[in-house]
Amino acid sequence: MNITADLIEIGPARPKSPEVAWKLIYDTDPEIFEYYFSNDLELMESCLSDWWQRPEGWFSHALCTAATYNGSLVGIEIGFTREINRNHLRPTFNYARETMNRAAYEHFSGAFKNYVPYLFPYIPRDAYYVQTLAVKAEMRGQSVGQTLLNAALNRAKGKELKTCQLDVASDSIAVNFYKK
């Protein structure tokens, strides 16, 4: 399939397509999500699908810009400012408490407490932080990721933020994408 950027529609995400959204979120860092959810892929799918549809939280559609092609979700960018990040932290844990059994929740919250300080840097007041940028595998190389990243940069400029930042593991295939 060969598409061009002008065929990709970019806009605010909607709470639909949780079956695609959870997988895109997971694909950004499978190892860490497997750790968060104790390698329970059913629980992970259930939680991330549910949380995607919620009105707030780190994995909510509300923080997301969606890329669609022919009406189907093909990519996401979840990002925020420091203030928005703080406002969405508590709901994330509230949803986890609601959707997980006690043992799973304790593991999840412990994993976040142990890893989040290392995974998420301090976000300056004048920065936009790209937490998640993912494109369906069959759509990669078709300008979807670049279009989403450009939208994030424009959003940062529109809010008069001075910087846009993200983190990617040095051994991730995404490194080459960001170098371009």
By mean pLDDT, which of 26-30, 100-104, 165-169 is the weakest? 165-169
pLDDT of residue 122: 82
Query: pTM (2 decimals)?
Result: 0.90
Q: Is the pLDDT of residue 68 over 90?
A: yes
Q: Which residues pair with residue 24 across a beta bridge?
A: none
pLDDT(85) > 90 = no
Predicted local distance difference test score (pLDDT) of residue 178:
81
Helix (H) or strand (E) holding 165, with range, is strand 163-166
pLDDT of residue 168: 81
The order of strands in the sheet holding 64-69 is: 9-12, 64-69, 72-80, 127-135, 163-166
- Residue 108 scores a pLDDT above 90: yes
- How far apart (Å, rounded) are the C-alpha atoms in residues 119 and 58? 14
Model confidence at 94: pLDDT above 90: yes
Which residue type occupies 169? A
* 150 vs 117 pLDDT, higher one: 150
**In which element (H, E) is residue 106 found?**
helix 102-119
Is the distance from CB of 68 to CB of 76 less than 8 angstroms? Answer: no
Identify the pLDDT of residue 18. Answer: 97
- Confidence (pLDDT) at 92: 93
Confidence of residue 172 (pLDDT cuts 50, 70, 90): confident
Measuring CA to CA, which residue among 101, 128, 112, 131 is closest to residue 40? 101
63 closest CA partner among 98, 101, 89, 96: 89
Question: What's the gap between Cα 136 and its chain centre?
Answer: 13
Residue 64's φ and ψ, nearest 5 degrees, are: -115, 145
Percent of the chain with pLDDT over 90: 67
CB 168 within 8 A of CB 178: yes
Helix (H) or strand (E) run with residue 53 in it: helix 41-53
Matching residue, tokens 């937490």: 131
Place of tokens 């990243």: 149
